[in-house]
Structure 1
Amino acid sequence: MNATMCSVGRFLASPRGLVLILFLLAPTAFFALGGGKWLSLEAFAAHRDQLHGYAQSHFWLFFVGWGLLYAAVVAFSLPGGALLSLATGFLFGRWLGTVLIVVSASLGATAVFSAARYLFADAARQRLERNPTAVKLLSGFGRDAASYLLFLRLVPVFPFWLVNLAPAFAPVPASTYLWTTVVGILPGSFVFANLGQSLGDIRSLQGLISAEVLISLGLLGLLALLPVGLRRFGWSRTLIAQRQEDKR
């Protein structure tokens, strides 16, 4: 028992252990301190004028602070990202708001990606490699990482936090993860920042995205997968040609 406790203590005192503690304590503190009430549409509506006034009088300080808050929410996978995106558009406008959303969300996503890979990637990869289906999935993700990541970013089918975490356990270069995140979230960020300008008239976060917007994002996602389809089509033609040669 003492040996086990000593091992646990050494791990928690190590850099890896400290990172794990941080990513466990931050969400726990958020919910324990009632963070969900603050990151709500009701709370923003109640303090909207104060926030707007502070953004006007202390623009750059507020701009940087708001960006760090946004990045932290993404990094620790906390709820409220959609509201923060809308509020960013309301406070800073569609263009500057889009830039802030993209930069902050990309930083937060890269932080959680790096932390997950640092903490769990080796153990997770060893387990996945025992499963033949998982091996094929990982190898496919490695071949077409950019296309898959762009598709997942452009089409909001899966939760943002899940798309941030999953690539950490696949053979995806950090540089590929970063640039596909920036490019992939750009259209959606502009949509939210643009909608944020009318935040005063919004009563619910449901139904903010119109069918036309979702269709447009879906088409962009399909476009991102086009290289994968063309590659597989090329492989199929090669296989057919080889089989015809074998028959001769």
Structure 2
Amino acid sequence: MTDPKQTRDSSAARPWRHLPLALIALVAVIGAVTLRDYISFETLAENRAALLALRDQNYLLMAGGFVAAYVTIVAFSLPGAAVASVTGGFLFGLWAGTAFNVIAASLGAIAIFLAARAGLGQTLAAKLDASEGRIRRLRDALRENEISVLLLLRLVPAVPFFVANLLPALVGVGLGNFAWTTALGIIPGALVFTSIGVGVGSVFDRGETPDLSLLWAPQVIGPLLGLAALAALPIVLRAWRARKGV
């Protein structure tokens, strides 16, 4: 069992561990103030011809630049993740665009996860490991159902993306499980955003902006909630077996 005093001493001796998360928070605040009007569908509409020309001239360079920009947006919680996802479909089509969106969003999420785990995550996870009573039972339940909980965080649309990145780091989730559940869990949403981007050119031609309310349409939200229910099934079964003593 981890000694809380050792945890406090370790944290005090290595204050630099908090620097990555502090930097992310600082850049996120600055970005929210300065970039909101620049990373937008209006900007995409104004520059779509230039972006398509760059893609046609050097596809690999454009794809790499797009992924790098998207990783930066996610890693620093900057505004414009939805715009970036739609742009992926606009520039690269449904399948390549979805792949690039999933790769970039996953890498950005992993960056936040590692920053949070290096700082607050280590301290809080150690305290949870040393806890007793109800908190310990909650921790044990989370560990037992780790995969299902991680998938639920990705599949339930009401959970903000940055929360699904930070919370696992703060409760001691392993990097491997976090990485693969993130990549798998964001695929359905990425497909929806990317498909919107595939047809965004005609939307701009009509002088309109993409309608992201499609995400809450029954034909979209229904399958997502169905997948969330499937991910929650192991939790329900374990709880039922524990209650029945099976």
Same-fold call, TM cutoff 0.5:
yes
Partner SS, residue 93 of structure 1: helix
Q: Does 1:142 align with 2:143?
A: yes
Return closer, same or farther for 1:133/1:196 CA change in 2, 3 Å cut-off.
farther
1:219 maps to 226
The 8 Å contact of residues 150 and 181 in structure 1, kept in 2 or not, is answered as yes
Return closer, same or farther for 1:62/1:17 CA change in 2, 3 Å cut-off.
same
> Hey, what's the Cα distance between the residues in 2 that align with 1:132 and 1:38?
50
1:172 maps to 173
The 8 Å contact of residues 113 and 165 in structure 2, kept in 1 or not, is answered as yes
Instruction: In structure 2, give the amino acid aligned to 1:19.
Output: P
Return closer, same or farther for 1:199/1:160 CA change in 2, 3 Å cut-off.
same
2:193 maps to 192
Aligned pair count? 227
The 8 Å contact of residues 21 and 112 in structure 2, kept in 1 or not, is answered as no
The 8 Å contact of residues 122 and 172 in structure 2, kept in 1 or not, is answered as no
Partner SS, residue 208 of structure 1: helix
Instruction: In structure 1, give the amino acid aligned to 2:54.
Output: Y
> Hey, what's the Cα distance between the residues in 2 that align with 1:135 and 1:184?
27
Instruction: In structure 1, give the amino acid aligned to 2:61.
Output: L
State which structure, 1 or 2, has the greater radius of gyration over its C-alpha atoms.
Answer: 1
> Hey, what's the Cα distance between the residues in 2 that align with 1:238 and 1:20?
43
- The CA deviation at 1:211 is 1.9
1:246 maps to none
Please list every run of at least 4 consecutive aligned residues from structure 1 whose deviation after the TM superposition is greater than 6 angstroms. Answer: none
Instruction: In structure 2, give the amino acid aligned to 1:23.
Output: I
> Which stretch of structure 1 is more off in the superposition, 191-200 or 58-67?
191-200
> Hey, what's the Cα distance between the residues in 1 that align with 2:212 and 2:188?
19
Instruction: In structure 2, give the amino acid aligned to 1:139.
Output: D
TM-score by length of 2: 0.84
> Hey, what's the Cα distance between the residues in 2 that align with 1:95 and 1:163?
25
2:23 maps to 22
1:76-155 equivalences under 5 Å are 76-125=76-125, 133-155=134-156
Identify unmatched segments of 5+ residues in structure 1: 1-9, 240-248
Provide, for residues 24-72 of structure 1, a one-character-per-residue CA deviation record: whole Å limited to 9, x for no partner.
443244346x321221111111111211211111211110111011111
Partner SS, residue 209 of structure 2: coil
> Hey, what's the Cα distance between the residues in 1 that align with 2:165 and 2:22?
19
The 8 Å contact of residues 98 and 194 in structure 2, kept in 1 or not, is answered as yes
Q: Does 1:234 align with 2:241?
A: yes
> Hey, what's the Cα distance between the residues in 2 that align with 1:82 and 1:136?
37
TM-score by length of 1: 0.83
- The CA deviation at 1:124 is 2.9
1:207 maps to 213
Partner SS, residue 39 of structure 1: coil
- The CA deviation at 1:195 is 1.4
The 8 Å contact of residues 67 and 101 in structure 2, kept in 1 or not, is answered as yes
2:64 maps to 64
- The CA deviation at 1:165 is 0.5
> Hey, what's the Cα distance between the residues in 1 that align with 2:172 and 2:209?
42
Return closer, same or farther for 1:178/1:145 CA change in 2, 3 Å cut-off.
same
Instruction: In structure 2, give the amino acid aligned to 1:215.
Output: G
> Which stretch of structure 1 is more off in the superposition, 54-63 or 202-211?
202-211
Identify unmatched segments of 5+ residues in structure 2: 1-12
Provide the identity percentage.
Answer: 35
2:48 maps to 48
> Which stretch of structure 1 is more off in the superposition, 36-45 or 177-186?
36-45
Return closer, same or farther for 1:212/1:23 CA change in 2, 3 Å cut-off.
same
> Hey, what's the Cα distance between the residues in 2 that align with 1:110 and 1:17?
16
- The CA deviation at 1:18 is 4.5
The 8 Å contact of residues 214 and 220 in structure 2, kept in 1 or not, is answered as no
Instruction: In structure 1, give the amino acid aligned to 2:55.
Output: A
Return closer, same or farther for 1:166/1:205 CA change in 2, 3 Å cut-off.
farther
